[in-house]
Amino acid sequence: MIDIQQVTKRYKNVAAVDEVSLTIRQGEVFGIIGYSGAGKSTLLRCLNLLERPTEGKVLIDGKDLTALSDNEVRKERQKIGMIFQHFHLISSKTVFDNVAFSLKAAGKTKEEIKKKVPKLLEMVGLSDRSGHYPAQLSGGQKQRVGIARALANDPKVLLCDEATSALDPTTTKSILQLLKKINETLGITIVLITHEMEVVQDICHRVAVMEDGKVVELGDIYDIFANPKTDLSKQFVQTVHSLELPERLLEGRKGPIVQVVFQGDSAEEAVISETLKQFNVNANILHGQISYIQDRALGTLIIELIGSRRDVQKAIDYITKQTSRLEVLADVA
Ligand SMILES: Nc1ncnc2c1ncn2[C@@H]1O[C@H](COP(=O)(O)OP(=O)(O)OP(=O)(O)O)[C@@H](O)[C@H]1O
Ligand SMILES: [Mg+2]
């Protein structure tokens, strides 16, 4: 659907996006996460050629946008909706006129506009705000107008640049729910950039992790949470699933403390009891949690393993083989 081939965007000597290649599939919600300055916005803006890549190609449905003239690009851009962190509404226009603006720009008639805008406002739950001005709306409502405007010309793709970063957690959830509904009912492909792993966990099917203009990790959402490979991905996963042990729990321990990650769809609860049976060790459970990533369970358990050095090592090897991940958090001297 969206084929990004070796895209580089340079500003003077800085490569804001550095040789990125990615394929975004039809109908998916694709997340791009990274810290500030990683190049997320620049990459997103390269997708609709708001920024022309210095090198590389962007193909949408097989059509190479980078080969088109600026005029042709403007036409293609109508098939790509975009929403922003700060909404970018026209403050002197009503909700109706803000949404109508996109339709006018695309050359729609007054009749078409009169028919279409109410449908769009209904889709985003703002039917009763048609005559309001942006200043009379909450942040969440403003973003709903932004979404209605982005959907006005029936785009195939919706690009979201930190669309929920200016909103409180509850409003964020409701906007994410709306994006999910749009993806599921209209089949629109969504590319969403964020620095919040919770947003990724809530609605993305796949995610790319960016650092210094490069994609350093890419995977299905569950796999990234269950088994992050780079330190950066681990950091992001920890922002959502962190089990912090109080220091005092680490003192006076008799055995190593290990963190075990279970993937919920196999019979893993048995692993610990099986370990205790097979090897001559005891386990002290210190902390545990189960998270749900789009309905699939992911469990984390922190335990202290007590026994002879040899038995404990055998137990660790066994658990490692049977589970998704085992990490020794603290060993005894
Ligand atoms: N128009 C520009 N001119 C010069 N440098 C730019 C320009 N736009 C972006 N950059 C630089 O490119 C790098 C990536 O910026 P970008 O805005 O894409 O990051 P980001 O990941 O979206 O960050 P944030 O999370 O803060 O929005 C930064 O070092 C930035 O300073
Ligand atoms: Mg940005």
Q: Is there a contact between 299 and 261 (Cβ–Cβ < 8 Å)?
A: yes
* Burial of 319: CB neighbours in 10 Å, binned 0-12, 13-18, 19+: buried
Whole-angstrom distance, CA of residue 51 vs CA of residue 42: 7
Amino acid, single-letter form, for residue 27: G
User: Which residue has the CA at smallest separation from atom 31 of ligand 1?
Assistant: 37
CATH number (domain holding residue 215): 3.40.50.300
Q: Which of 239, 268, 296 is the last residue of a domain?
A: 239
> How big is the chain, counted in residues?
333
Task: Tell which atom from ligand 1 comes closest to the C-alpha of 38.
Answer: 21
pLDDT of residue 180: 96
**Relative to the alpha carbon of 35, which ligand is closest?**
1
Token reading at 243? 């089990």
pLDDT tens digit string along 57-92? 999 999 999 999 999 999 899 899 999 999 999 999
Mutate to test the pocket of ligand 1, among 9, 17, 33, 41 (most ligand atoms within 8 A of CB): 41
User: Is residue 233 domain-shared with residue 287, that is, in the same domain?
Assistant: no
Per-residue pLDDT band at 98 (split at 50, 70, 90): very high
Residue with tokens 């019979």, as numbered in its chain: 267
User: Is residue 164 domain-shared with residue 224, that is, in the same domain?
Assistant: yes
Token reading at 145? 């107008």
User: Which residue has the CA at smallest separation from atom 24 of ligand 1?
Assistant: 36
CATH number (domain holding residue 322): 3.30.70.260
User: Which residue has the CA at smallest separation from atom 3 of ligand 1?
Assistant: 11
Which regions of the chain does DSSP assign to beta strands (E)?
2-11, 14-24, 29-33, 55-60, 63-64, 80-84, 157-161, 189-194, 206-211, 214-220, 257-263, 282-293, 296-306, 325-330
* Residues near 309 by beta carbon (within 8 Å), at least 6 away in sequence: none
Count structural domains, the chain.
2
Q: Is the pLDDT of residue 286 over 60?
A: yes
Per-residue pLDDT band at 323 (split at 50, 70, 90): confident
Residue among 174, 97, 163 nearest 129 (CA): 97
State in Å: Cα 191 to ligand 1 middle: 18
User: Which residue has the CA at smallest separation from atom 8 of ligand 1?
Assistant: 42
Determine the straight-line distance between the first and last CA of the chain, rounded to whole angstroms.
Answer: 55
Amino acid, single-letter form, for residue 271: V
Q: Which of 239, 273, 293 is the last residue of a domain?
A: 239
pLDDT tens digit string along 30-40? 999 999 999 99
Mutate to test the pocket of ligand 1, among 7, 9, 11, 12 (most ligand atoms within 8 A of CB): 11
Task: Tell which atom from ligand 1 comes closest to the C-alpha of 35.
Answer: 25
User: Is residue 274 domain-shared with residue 219, that is, in the same domain?
Assistant: no
pLDDT of residue 21: 97
Mean pLDDT of the chain: 92
pLDDT tens digit string along 100-143? 999 999 999 999 999 999 999 999 999 999 999 999 999 999 99
User: Is residue 216 domain-shared with residue 274, that is, in the same domain?
Assistant: no
Residues of the chain above pLDDT 90, percent: 73
Whole-angstrom distance, CA of residue 51 vs CA of residue 63: 17
231 by DSSP, 3-state: which? helix
Token reading at 110? 């007054």
User: Is residue 99 domain-shared with residue 170, that is, in the same domain?
Assistant: yes
Residues of the chain above pLDDT 70, percent: 98
pLDDT tens digit string along 303-318? 999 999 999 999 999 8
Pairing of strands 189-194, 29-33: parallel
- Domain hosting residue 275, numbered range: 247-330
Q: Is the pLDDT of residue 266 over 70?
A: no
Q: Which of 212, 239, 266 is the last residue of a domain?
A: 239
* Residues near 70 by beta carbon (within 8 Å), at least 6 away in sequence: none
DSSP 38: S
User: Is residue 36 domain-shared with residue 139, that is, in the same domain?
Assistant: yes
State in Å: Cα 161 to ligand 2 middle: 7
- Please list every protein residue whose CB sits less than 6 Å from any atom of ligand 1: 11, 14, 16, 34, 36-42, 195
**Relative to the alpha carbon of 11, which ligand is closest?**
1
Whole-angstrom distance, CA of residue 62 vs CA of residue 64: 6
pLDDT of residue 241: 79
Residue 243 to residues 248, 253, 289: CA-CA distances in angstroms?
15, 18, 8
pLDDT tens digit string along 214-226? 999 999 999 999 8
- The whole-number average pLDDT for the span 270-285 is 86
pLDDT of residue 248: 79
Residue among 198, 174, 185, 167 nearest 126 (CA): 174
User: Which residue has the CA at smallest separation from atom 16 of ligand 1?
Assistant: 39
pLDDT of residue 322: 82
User: Is residue 185 domain-shared with residue 254, that is, in the same domain?
Assistant: no
User: Is residue 214 domain-shared with residue 253, that is, in the same domain?
Assistant: no
Mutate to test the pocket of ligand 1, among 12, 14, 232 (most ligand atoms within 8 A of CB): 14
User: Is residue 101 domain-shared with residue 180, that is, in the same domain?
Assistant: yes
**Relative to the alpha carbon of 18, which ligand is closest?**
1
User: HSE on the CB side for 302, CA within 13 Å?
Assistant: 17
User: Around ion ligand 2, which residues have CB less than 5 A away?
Assistant: 41
User: Is residue 225 domain-shared with residue 282, that is, in the same domain?
Assistant: no
DSSP-assigned beta bridge partners for residue 217? 209
User: Is residue 252 domain-shared with residue 224, that is, in the same domain?
Assistant: no
Per-residue pLDDT band at 269 (split at 50, 70, 90): low
User: Is residue 287 domain-shared with residue 172, that is, in the same domain?
Assistant: no
pLDDT of residue 246: 78
